[in-house]
Structure 1
Amino acid sequence: MTQLQESEQRVYQGQFGDFTITKDDRTGVIIYRAGLMVAALSFALASWLVLWLGNTPTVLNALTPLYVCFCLGLGVSLLTIHIYLGLLHRVLQIFWAIGVAASVVLAVQAGEPLALTVYNHPVTILGIGFIFAALTGIYFKEAFCFNRLETKVLMPLVPLLLLGHLSGFLPVQTERVLLGVWAIFFLVFALRKVVQEIPPDIGDKSVFVYLKEQRSVRA
Protein backbone atom coordinates (compact mmCIF):
# COMPACT_ATOMS: atom_id res chain seq x y z
CA MET A 1 0.00 0.00 0.00
CA THR A 2 2.85 2.36 0.84
CA GLN A 3 4.52 1.68 -2.51
CA LEU A 4 1.23 2.32 -4.30
CA GLN A 5 0.81 5.66 -2.53
CA GLU A 6 4.37 6.65 -3.34
CA SER A 7 3.79 5.76 -6.99
CA GLU A 8 0.65 7.88 -7.10
CA GLN A 9 2.44 10.82 -5.43
CA ARG A 10 5.42 10.68 -7.76
CA VAL A 11 5.60 13.57 -10.20
CA TYR A 12 6.52 12.67 -13.78
CA GLN A 13 7.94 15.12 -16.27
CA GLY A 14 5.97 15.06 -19.49
CA GLN A 15 6.43 16.73 -22.84
CA PHE A 16 3.91 19.44 -22.00
CA GLY A 17 4.26 19.62 -18.23
CA ASP A 18 4.40 17.57 -15.06
CA PHE A 19 1.78 14.99 -14.12
CA THR A 20 1.02 12.34 -11.52
CA ILE A 21 -0.48 8.87 -11.85
CA THR A 22 -3.70 8.40 -9.91
CA LYS A 23 -5.42 5.31 -8.60
CA ASP A 24 -7.97 5.61 -11.41
CA ASP A 25 -5.16 5.63 -13.96
CA ARG A 26 -3.76 2.42 -12.55
CA THR A 27 -7.20 0.82 -12.39
CA GLY A 28 -7.76 1.64 -16.05
CA VAL A 29 -4.53 -0.11 -17.02
CA ILE A 30 -5.42 -3.16 -14.95
CA ILE A 31 -8.83 -3.35 -16.66
CA TYR A 32 -7.15 -2.97 -20.06
CA ARG A 33 -4.80 -5.85 -19.32
CA ALA A 34 -7.59 -7.98 -17.86
CA GLY A 35 -9.57 -7.52 -21.07
CA LEU A 36 -6.55 -8.60 -23.10
CA MET A 37 -6.11 -11.66 -20.92
CA VAL A 38 -9.75 -12.70 -21.32
CA ALA A 39 -9.47 -12.26 -25.08
CA ALA A 40 -6.16 -14.13 -25.28
CA LEU A 41 -7.31 -17.04 -23.12
CA SER A 42 -10.58 -17.37 -25.04
CA PHE A 43 -8.76 -17.29 -28.36
CA ALA A 44 -6.10 -19.75 -27.21
CA LEU A 45 -8.68 -22.22 -25.89
CA ALA A 46 -10.77 -21.96 -29.06
CA SER A 47 -7.68 -22.49 -31.21
CA TRP A 48 -6.62 -25.50 -29.14
CA LEU A 49 -10.06 -27.08 -29.52
CA VAL A 50 -9.98 -26.64 -33.28
CA LEU A 51 -6.39 -27.75 -33.80
CA TRP A 52 -6.42 -30.77 -31.49
CA LEU A 53 -10.02 -31.97 -31.41
CA GLY A 54 -11.20 -30.96 -34.87
CA ASN A 55 -14.57 -29.65 -36.01
CA THR A 56 -16.80 -31.96 -34.00
CA PRO A 57 -20.28 -30.69 -33.10
CA THR A 58 -19.20 -30.25 -29.46
CA VAL A 59 -16.19 -28.14 -30.45
CA LEU A 60 -18.17 -26.04 -32.90
CA ASN A 61 -20.84 -25.31 -30.30
CA ALA A 62 -18.16 -24.35 -27.75
CA LEU A 63 -16.51 -21.89 -30.11
CA THR A 64 -19.39 -19.41 -30.11
CA PRO A 65 -19.37 -18.64 -26.35
CA LEU A 66 -15.56 -18.47 -26.47
CA TYR A 67 -15.84 -15.99 -29.33
CA VAL A 68 -18.29 -13.94 -27.27
CA CYS A 69 -15.79 -13.83 -24.39
CA PHE A 70 -13.05 -12.86 -26.83
CA CYS A 71 -15.13 -10.00 -28.22
CA LEU A 72 -16.12 -8.74 -24.77
CA GLY A 73 -12.54 -8.83 -23.50
CA LEU A 74 -11.30 -7.01 -26.58
CA GLY A 75 -14.08 -4.44 -26.27
CA VAL A 76 -13.11 -3.68 -22.67
CA SER A 77 -9.47 -3.26 -23.71
CA LEU A 78 -10.43 -0.89 -26.50
CA LEU A 79 -12.37 1.24 -24.04
CA THR A 80 -9.47 1.56 -21.60
CA ILE A 81 -6.38 1.55 -23.84
CA HIS A 82 -4.26 4.71 -23.82
CA ILE A 83 -3.68 5.99 -27.37
CA TYR A 84 -2.47 9.53 -28.03
CA LEU A 85 -4.27 9.77 -31.39
CA GLY A 86 -7.92 10.12 -30.45
CA LEU A 87 -9.06 9.49 -34.02
CA LEU A 88 -7.19 6.18 -34.17
CA HIS A 89 -8.69 5.15 -30.82
CA ARG A 90 -12.18 5.91 -32.10
CA VAL A 91 -11.58 4.09 -35.38
CA LEU A 92 -10.50 0.93 -33.55
CA GLN A 93 -13.64 1.08 -31.42
CA ILE A 94 -15.80 1.53 -34.52
CA PHE A 95 -14.09 -1.43 -36.17
CA TRP A 96 -14.87 -3.52 -33.11
CA ALA A 97 -18.52 -2.45 -33.18
CA ILE A 98 -18.84 -3.27 -36.91
CA GLY A 99 -17.29 -6.68 -36.38
CA VAL A 100 -19.57 -7.46 -33.45
CA ALA A 101 -22.65 -6.36 -35.39
CA ALA A 102 -21.64 -8.54 -38.35
CA SER A 103 -21.06 -11.47 -36.01
CA VAL A 104 -24.49 -11.10 -34.44
CA VAL A 105 -26.19 -10.97 -37.84
CA LEU A 106 -24.33 -14.06 -39.03
CA ALA A 107 -25.04 -15.97 -35.82
CA VAL A 108 -28.77 -15.17 -36.02
CA GLN A 109 -29.22 -15.84 -39.74
CA ALA A 110 -27.00 -18.90 -40.15
CA GLY A 111 -28.45 -22.30 -39.47
CA GLU A 112 -25.09 -23.62 -38.27
CA PRO A 113 -22.44 -22.67 -35.68
CA LEU A 114 -20.83 -19.28 -36.37
CA ALA A 115 -17.31 -20.73 -36.75
CA LEU A 116 -18.51 -23.18 -39.41
CA THR A 117 -20.27 -20.39 -41.29
CA VAL A 118 -17.12 -18.27 -41.38
CA TYR A 119 -14.93 -21.20 -42.39
CA ASN A 120 -17.22 -22.39 -45.17
CA HIS A 121 -18.03 -18.88 -46.40
CA PRO A 122 -14.77 -16.86 -46.32
CA VAL A 123 -16.55 -13.78 -47.65
CA THR A 124 -17.98 -13.33 -44.13
CA ILE A 125 -14.49 -12.23 -43.08
CA LEU A 126 -15.30 -8.90 -44.75
CA GLY A 127 -17.68 -8.36 -41.83
CA ILE A 128 -16.28 -10.01 -38.73
CA GLY A 129 -12.75 -9.19 -39.89
CA PHE A 130 -13.23 -5.68 -38.50
CA ILE A 131 -12.90 -7.13 -35.00
CA PHE A 132 -9.51 -8.56 -35.87
CA ALA A 133 -8.52 -5.31 -37.56
CA ALA A 134 -9.15 -3.63 -34.19
CA LEU A 135 -7.07 -6.29 -32.46
CA THR A 136 -4.27 -5.73 -34.98
CA GLY A 137 -4.46 -2.05 -34.09
CA ILE A 138 -3.66 -2.95 -30.49
CA TYR A 139 -0.76 -5.09 -31.66
CA PHE A 140 0.52 -2.15 -33.71
CA LYS A 141 0.27 0.23 -30.76
CA GLU A 142 2.08 -2.16 -28.45
CA ALA A 143 4.79 -2.90 -31.03
CA PHE A 144 5.34 0.81 -31.66
CA CYS A 145 5.38 1.79 -27.98
CA PHE A 146 7.18 -1.18 -26.42
CA ASN A 147 9.03 -2.86 -29.30
CA ARG A 148 7.66 -6.29 -28.36
CA LEU A 149 8.67 -9.22 -30.55
CA GLU A 150 5.34 -11.03 -30.25
CA THR A 151 3.35 -8.00 -31.43
CA LYS A 152 5.75 -7.47 -34.32
CA VAL A 153 4.98 -11.03 -35.41
CA LEU A 154 1.24 -10.73 -34.85
CA MET A 155 0.86 -7.48 -36.81
CA PRO A 156 1.43 -9.07 -40.24
CA LEU A 157 0.36 -12.58 -39.22
CA VAL A 158 -3.28 -11.74 -38.47
CA PRO A 159 -4.09 -10.03 -41.79
CA LEU A 160 -2.06 -12.69 -43.62
CA LEU A 161 -4.17 -15.50 -42.17
CA LEU A 162 -7.50 -13.75 -42.64
CA LEU A 163 -6.82 -12.49 -46.15
CA GLY A 164 -5.23 -15.82 -47.03
CA HIS A 165 -8.40 -17.67 -46.04
CA LEU A 166 -10.58 -15.06 -47.74
CA SER A 167 -8.73 -15.41 -51.04
CA GLY A 168 -8.14 -19.14 -50.67
CA PHE A 169 -4.43 -19.03 -51.45
CA LEU A 170 -3.27 -20.51 -48.15
CA PRO A 171 -3.19 -24.32 -47.77
CA VAL A 172 -5.17 -25.68 -44.85
CA GLN A 173 -2.03 -26.91 -43.08
CA THR A 174 -0.47 -23.46 -43.36
CA GLU A 175 -3.61 -21.91 -41.89
CA ARG A 176 -3.41 -24.32 -38.96
CA VAL A 177 0.23 -23.41 -38.30
CA LEU A 178 -0.51 -19.68 -38.46
CA LEU A 179 -3.50 -20.09 -36.15
CA GLY A 180 -1.34 -21.94 -33.61
CA VAL A 181 1.38 -19.28 -33.75
CA TRP A 182 -1.25 -16.57 -33.36
CA ALA A 183 -2.76 -18.22 -30.29
CA ILE A 184 0.62 -18.77 -28.63
CA PHE A 185 1.99 -15.31 -29.31
CA PHE A 186 -1.27 -13.64 -28.28
CA LEU A 187 -1.13 -15.49 -24.96
CA VAL A 188 2.53 -14.58 -24.50
CA PHE A 189 1.66 -10.95 -25.19
CA ALA A 190 -1.15 -10.93 -22.62
CA LEU A 191 0.99 -12.67 -19.98
CA ARG A 192 3.87 -10.22 -20.47
CA LYS A 193 1.46 -7.33 -20.00
CA VAL A 194 0.56 -8.70 -16.57
CA VAL A 195 4.10 -8.28 -15.27
CA GLN A 196 4.86 -5.01 -17.06
CA GLU A 197 5.18 -1.82 -15.04
CA ILE A 198 1.92 0.14 -15.06
CA PRO A 199 3.17 3.73 -15.76
CA PRO A 200 4.40 2.98 -19.31
CA ASP A 201 0.89 1.82 -20.27
CA ILE A 202 -0.50 5.13 -19.04
CA GLY A 203 1.95 7.10 -21.12
CA ASP A 204 2.60 10.81 -20.99
CA LYS A 205 -0.56 12.27 -19.47
CA SER A 206 0.56 15.79 -20.37
CA VAL A 207 0.13 14.87 -24.05
CA PHE A 208 -3.48 13.83 -23.46
CA VAL A 209 -4.13 17.09 -21.61
CA TYR A 210 -2.52 19.11 -24.40
CA LEU A 211 -4.50 17.36 -27.12
CA LYS A 212 -7.72 17.85 -25.19
CA GLU A 213 -6.99 21.56 -24.82
CA GLN A 214 -6.27 21.84 -28.54
CA ARG A 215 -9.60 20.21 -29.39
CA SER A 216 -11.36 22.63 -27.02
CA VAL A 217 -9.69 25.62 -28.67
CA ARG A 218 -10.70 24.45 -32.16
CA ALA A 219 -14.25 23.86 -30.95
Structure 2
Amino acid sequence: MSSTKASEVIEGPFQGAYGNWYLTRADVTDVQVYRAALGVVCVAQSACILLAIAQAPVPSYVYDALFVLGTGAFGVALSKIHIYMKPLHTALKFLWVAGLLGAIAILATEHALVPLVYEKPVLLLATGWQFVALTGVFIKEAFCFGRAEAIGLTALIPVLLGGHFLGILPDSLEQGGGLVFVATFLYFCWRKFTQGVKDDVGDLSVFQYLAKNANQ
Protein backbone atom coordinates (compact mmCIF):
# COMPACT_ATOMS: atom_id res chain seq x y z
CA MET A 1 0.00 0.00 0.00
CA SER A 2 1.43 3.39 -0.99
CA SER A 3 1.96 6.01 1.71
CA THR A 4 -0.58 8.26 0.01
CA LYS A 5 -3.23 5.58 -0.03
CA ALA A 6 -2.39 4.51 3.52
CA SER A 7 -2.91 8.06 4.79
CA GLU A 8 -6.24 8.43 3.01
CA VAL A 9 -8.88 9.62 5.48
CA ILE A 10 -11.82 7.23 5.88
CA GLU A 11 -13.73 8.94 8.68
CA GLY A 12 -13.45 11.97 10.93
CA PRO A 13 -12.75 14.28 12.48
CA PHE A 14 -13.33 12.73 15.92
CA GLN A 15 -12.92 14.63 19.15
CA GLY A 16 -10.17 13.08 21.26
CA ALA A 17 -8.64 13.84 24.62
CA TYR A 18 -5.87 15.89 22.95
CA GLY A 19 -7.64 17.25 19.89
CA ASN A 20 -9.27 16.04 16.71
CA TRP A 21 -8.10 12.93 14.89
CA TYR A 22 -8.98 11.09 11.69
CA LEU A 23 -9.39 7.41 10.82
CA THR A 24 -7.15 6.53 7.89
CA ARG A 25 -6.99 3.55 5.57
CA ALA A 26 -3.79 2.43 7.34
CA ASP A 27 -5.67 2.39 10.66
CA VAL A 28 -8.38 0.21 9.16
CA THR A 29 -5.78 -2.18 7.73
CA ASP A 30 -4.01 -2.44 11.11
CA VAL A 31 -7.27 -3.36 12.84
CA GLN A 32 -8.13 -5.93 10.18
CA VAL A 33 -4.68 -7.52 10.49
CA TYR A 34 -4.94 -7.53 14.31
CA ARG A 35 -8.30 -9.28 14.23
CA ALA A 36 -7.26 -11.76 11.54
CA ALA A 37 -4.09 -12.61 13.48
CA LEU A 38 -6.07 -13.23 16.66
CA GLY A 39 -8.39 -15.43 14.61
CA VAL A 40 -5.41 -17.53 13.47
CA VAL A 41 -4.22 -17.81 17.08
CA CYS A 42 -7.69 -18.99 18.06
CA VAL A 43 -7.88 -21.60 15.28
CA ALA A 44 -4.37 -22.93 15.99
CA GLN A 45 -4.89 -23.23 19.75
CA SER A 46 -8.40 -24.63 19.37
CA ALA A 47 -7.17 -27.28 16.94
CA CYS A 48 -4.42 -28.35 19.39
CA ILE A 49 -6.87 -28.60 22.26
CA LEU A 50 -9.54 -30.49 20.30
CA LEU A 51 -7.02 -32.95 18.85
CA ALA A 52 -5.64 -33.61 22.33
CA ILE A 53 -9.08 -34.12 23.88
CA ALA A 54 -10.12 -36.43 21.05
CA GLN A 55 -6.79 -38.27 21.40
CA ALA A 56 -6.50 -38.13 17.64
CA PRO A 57 -3.70 -40.33 16.24
CA VAL A 58 -1.73 -37.48 14.69
CA PRO A 59 2.08 -37.13 14.72
CA SER A 60 3.62 -34.69 17.20
CA TYR A 61 4.78 -32.37 14.44
CA VAL A 62 1.13 -31.48 13.73
CA TYR A 63 0.83 -30.00 17.21
CA ASP A 64 4.17 -28.25 16.81
CA ALA A 65 3.16 -26.81 13.43
CA LEU A 66 -0.03 -25.44 14.98
CA PHE A 67 2.03 -23.95 17.81
CA VAL A 68 4.37 -22.24 15.32
CA LEU A 69 1.40 -20.93 13.34
CA GLY A 70 -0.29 -19.56 16.45
CA THR A 71 2.92 -18.08 17.82
CA GLY A 72 3.68 -16.28 14.57
CA ALA A 73 0.15 -14.94 14.31
CA PHE A 74 0.24 -13.75 17.92
CA GLY A 75 3.42 -11.82 17.19
CA VAL A 76 1.64 -10.08 14.31
CA ALA A 77 -1.34 -9.29 16.56
CA LEU A 78 0.95 -7.76 19.19
CA SER A 79 2.57 -5.57 16.53
CA LYS A 80 -0.83 -4.14 15.55
CA ILE A 81 -2.70 -3.88 18.86
CA HIS A 82 -3.37 -0.35 20.15
CA ILE A 83 -2.45 0.07 23.82
CA TYR A 84 -2.10 3.54 25.33
CA MET A 85 0.46 2.43 27.94
CA LYS A 86 3.65 1.81 25.97
CA PRO A 87 5.42 -0.01 28.86
CA LEU A 88 2.54 -2.52 28.97
CA HIS A 89 2.68 -3.01 25.20
CA THR A 90 6.45 -3.54 25.43
CA ALA A 91 6.00 -6.02 28.29
CA LEU A 92 3.55 -8.12 26.24
CA LYS A 93 6.03 -8.23 23.35
CA PHE A 94 8.82 -9.20 25.77
CA LEU A 95 6.71 -12.06 27.14
CA TRP A 96 5.99 -13.24 23.59
CA VAL A 97 9.71 -13.25 22.78
CA ALA A 98 10.50 -15.07 26.05
CA GLY A 99 8.00 -17.82 25.20
CA LEU A 100 9.33 -18.06 21.65
CA LEU A 101 12.93 -18.40 22.83
CA GLY A 102 11.86 -21.03 25.35
CA ALA A 103 10.17 -23.03 22.60
CA ILE A 104 13.24 -22.76 20.37
CA ALA A 105 15.45 -23.97 23.22
CA ILE A 106 13.27 -27.05 23.72
CA LEU A 107 13.12 -27.82 20.00
CA ALA A 108 16.90 -27.54 19.82
CA THR A 109 17.26 -30.54 22.14
CA GLU A 110 14.03 -32.49 21.64
CA HIS A 111 12.08 -33.92 18.70
CA ALA A 112 8.72 -32.58 19.88
CA LEU A 113 7.47 -29.49 21.65
CA VAL A 114 3.75 -29.38 22.47
CA PRO A 115 3.34 -33.04 23.55
CA LEU A 116 6.51 -32.81 25.65
CA VAL A 117 5.39 -29.59 27.39
CA TYR A 118 2.04 -31.21 28.13
CA GLU A 119 3.70 -34.29 29.62
CA LYS A 120 6.24 -32.22 31.58
CA PRO A 121 4.38 -29.14 32.88
CA VAL A 122 7.60 -27.69 34.34
CA LEU A 123 8.52 -26.78 30.75
CA LEU A 124 5.76 -24.18 30.85
CA LEU A 125 8.38 -22.07 32.62
CA ALA A 126 10.04 -21.87 29.20
CA THR A 127 7.07 -21.59 26.84
CA GLY A 128 4.16 -20.43 28.99
CA TRP A 129 5.04 -16.74 28.82
CA GLN A 130 3.14 -16.44 25.56
CA PHE A 131 -0.02 -17.44 27.40
CA VAL A 132 0.74 -14.77 29.99
CA ALA A 133 0.95 -12.26 27.12
CA LEU A 134 -2.30 -13.56 25.66
CA THR A 135 -3.95 -13.09 29.05
CA GLY A 136 -2.68 -9.50 28.94
CA VAL A 137 -4.42 -8.98 25.61
CA PHE A 138 -7.69 -10.30 27.06
CA ILE A 139 -7.27 -8.02 30.09
CA LYS A 140 -6.88 -5.08 27.71
CA GLU A 141 -9.97 -6.15 25.75
CA ALA A 142 -11.97 -6.64 28.96
CA PHE A 143 -10.89 -3.25 30.33
CA CYS A 144 -11.65 -1.39 27.09
CA PHE A 145 -14.94 -3.04 26.16
CA GLY A 146 -16.16 -4.85 29.28
CA ARG A 147 -17.21 -7.95 27.36
CA ALA A 148 -17.97 -11.11 29.29
CA GLU A 149 -16.02 -13.37 26.93
CA ALA A 150 -12.82 -11.34 27.40
CA ILE A 151 -13.28 -11.42 31.18
CA GLY A 152 -13.89 -15.17 31.03
CA LEU A 153 -10.75 -15.79 28.97
CA THR A 154 -8.75 -13.64 31.38
CA ALA A 155 -9.74 -16.05 34.16
CA LEU A 156 -9.62 -19.30 32.18
CA ILE A 157 -6.00 -19.15 31.04
CA PRO A 158 -4.42 -18.78 34.51
CA VAL A 159 -6.74 -21.41 35.98
CA LEU A 160 -6.12 -24.01 33.27
CA LEU A 161 -2.42 -23.28 32.82
CA GLY A 162 -1.72 -22.90 36.52
CA GLY A 163 -3.77 -25.98 37.38
CA HIS A 164 -1.91 -28.08 34.83
CA PHE A 165 1.46 -26.74 35.97
CA LEU A 166 0.71 -27.61 39.59
CA GLY A 167 -0.94 -30.92 38.66
CA ILE A 168 -4.07 -30.16 40.67
CA LEU A 169 -6.69 -30.40 37.91
CA PRO A 170 -8.19 -33.81 37.12
CA ASP A 171 -8.21 -34.78 33.44
CA SER A 172 -11.98 -34.38 33.18
CA LEU A 173 -11.80 -30.82 34.47
CA GLU A 174 -8.89 -29.96 32.21
CA GLN A 175 -10.76 -31.28 29.19
CA GLY A 176 -13.98 -29.52 30.13
CA GLY A 177 -12.10 -26.29 30.75
CA GLY A 178 -10.34 -26.71 27.42
CA LEU A 179 -13.65 -27.01 25.60
CA VAL A 180 -14.97 -23.92 27.39
CA PHE A 181 -11.80 -22.05 26.39
CA VAL A 182 -12.21 -23.04 22.73
CA ALA A 183 -15.87 -22.01 22.63
CA THR A 184 -15.20 -18.73 24.43
CA PHE A 185 -12.20 -17.84 22.27
CA LEU A 186 -14.16 -18.54 19.08
CA TYR A 187 -17.02 -16.37 20.33
CA PHE A 188 -14.53 -13.64 21.28
CA CYS A 189 -13.07 -13.61 17.75
CA TRP A 190 -16.50 -13.60 16.13
CA ARG A 191 -17.47 -10.58 18.22
CA LYS A 192 -14.22 -8.81 17.30
CA PHE A 193 -15.06 -9.08 13.61
CA THR A 194 -18.51 -7.58 14.20
CA GLN A 195 -17.10 -4.66 16.22
CA GLY A 196 -16.63 -1.17 14.78
CA VAL A 197 -13.09 -0.52 13.52
CA LYS A 198 -12.95 2.78 15.41
CA ASP A 199 -13.32 0.89 18.72
CA ASP A 200 -10.08 -1.04 18.21
CA VAL A 201 -8.24 2.06 17.02
CA GLY A 202 -9.05 3.92 20.22
CA ASP A 203 -8.35 7.63 20.68
CA LEU A 204 -5.55 8.36 18.20
CA SER A 205 -5.03 11.81 19.70
CA VAL A 206 -3.61 10.06 22.77
CA PHE A 207 -1.05 8.15 20.68
CA GLN A 208 -0.18 11.33 18.78
CA TYR A 209 0.29 13.21 22.04
CA LEU A 210 2.49 10.48 23.51
CA ALA A 211 4.58 10.28 20.33
CA LYS A 212 5.03 14.04 20.27
CA ASN A 213 6.18 14.19 23.90
CA ALA A 214 8.50 11.20 23.43
CA ASN A 215 10.33 13.09 20.66
CA GLN A 216 10.83 16.25 22.69
Secondary structure of 2:83's partner?
coil
Is contact 1:122–1:165 with CA below 8 Å preserved after alignment? Answer: yes
2-structure distance, mates of 1:59, 1:189: 30
Whether 1:75 aligns to 2:85 is: no
SS at match of 1:19: strand
Match of 2:3 in 1: none
1:3 aligned residue: none
Distance (whole Å) between structure 2 residues aligned to residue 168 and residue 14 of structure 1: 48
Alpha-carbon contact 1:118-1:124 (below 8 Å) kept: yes
- Contact kept, 8 Å, 1:14 with 1:205, in 2: the verdict is yes
Quote the offset at 1:184 in angstroms: 1.3
Report the CA distance between 1:63 and its aligned residue.
0.7
1:34 and 2:33 matched: no
Q: Is the 8 A contact 2:131 2:157 kept in 1?
A: yes
CA RMSD of aligned residues (A): 1.7
Distance across 2 between alignment mates of 1:157 and 1:198? 27
Q: Match for residue 4 of structure 2? A: none
Residues 119-164 of structure 1: CA deviation (Å, up to 9, x unaligned): 1211111111110011111100100101111110010110111111
Q: Deviations over 1:51-75 (max 9, x none)?
A: 12x163x153311111111101111
Match of 1:135 in 2: 134
C-alpha deviations, 1:180-218, integer Å up to 9, x for none?
Answer: 11111111111111111100100000111111222233x
Q: How many residues align?
A: 210
Contact 1:106 1:114 in 2 (8 A): yes
The one-letter amino acid of 1:63's match is: Y
CA contact (8 A) 1:49 1:59 kept: no
| More helix as a share of residues | 1
**Unpaired stretches in structure 2, ≥5 consecutive residues:** 1-7
Equivalent residue letter for 2:75 = G
Residue 118 to residue 14, structure 1, CA distance change in 2 (3 Å): same
Output aligned runs, 1:7-86, within 5 Å: 8-52=10-54, 54=55, 56=57, 58-86=58-86
4+ runs deviating over 4 angstroms: none
1:51–1:59 CA distance, 2 compared to 1 (3 A): farther
In structure 1, stretches of 5+ residues that fail to align are: 1-5
- Distance (whole Å) between structure 2 residues aligned to residue 10 and residue 212 of structure 1: 20
Separation of aligned partners in 1, 2:16 and 2:48 = 42
* Partner Cα separation in structure 2 for residue 61 and residue 205 of structure 1: 42
Q: How does 1:68-147 map to 2 (within 5 A)?
A: 68-111=68-111, 113-147=112-146
Q: What's the offset of the Cα at 1:45?
A: 1.4
Question: 1-side partners of 2:120 and 2:11: how far apart?
Answer: 55
Identity of paired residues, percent?
35
Normalised by the length of structure 2, the TM-score is 0.92
Tell me which residue corresponds to 2:163: 164
TM-score w.r.t. length of structure 1: 0.91
